[in-house]
Amino acid sequence: MSHRNLVRRLKQVETTLAPPKDHRLVLRFEGPGSEHFARPTKEEIGDNEVFVVQFVAARDGRPIDSPEQVR
């Protein structure tokens, strides 16, 4: 499935299944690899709960702490 087709279908689902704006959960992505995710605006955050998804570098399913391990 192409990226454009997937985005179009997700927008269709969001318009029909989106909860009312006063009861929304906001996702914020942080860390390496999160550059392509949209950042929530101040209006979206407002009084809503914000869940932060943090990406970390990993090898063999375990987080990498030191720069030497990244190489």
Q: Is residue 6 part of a domain?
A: no
Q: Two tokens at 38?
A: 């949209």
User: Hey, how many other C-beta atoms are within 10 angstroms of the C-beta on 24?
Assistant: 15
Q: Tell me if 53 is assigned to some domain.
A: yes
**Residue 50 covered by a domain:** yes
Size of the chain, expressed as the number of residues it contains: 71
Spatial separation of the C-alpha atoms in residues 63 and 71, rounded to whole Å: 13
pLDDT of residue 45: 85
Number of neighbours of residue 21 by Cβ within 10 angstroms: 10
User: So what's the pLDDT on residue 56?
Assistant: 81
- Could you give the 3-state DSSP secondary structure of residue 58? strand
Q: Tally the domains of the chain.
A: 1
Q: Is residue 31 part of a domain?
A: yes
Q: Is residue 54 part of a domain?
A: yes
pLDDT value at residue 67: 66
Question: pLDDT (tens digit, 9 = 90+) per residue, 14-69?
Answer: 888 766 666 678 889 998 888 888 898 888 888 888 999 988 877 777 777 766 66
Of residues 10 and 65, the one with the higher pLDDT is 10
Residue 11 lies in a domain: no
Residue 4 lies in a domain: no
Using pLDDT thresholds of 50, 70 and 90, give the confidence band for residue 4: confident
Residue among 49, 45, 44 at smallest CA distance from 25: 49
Tell me if 8 is assigned to some domain.
no
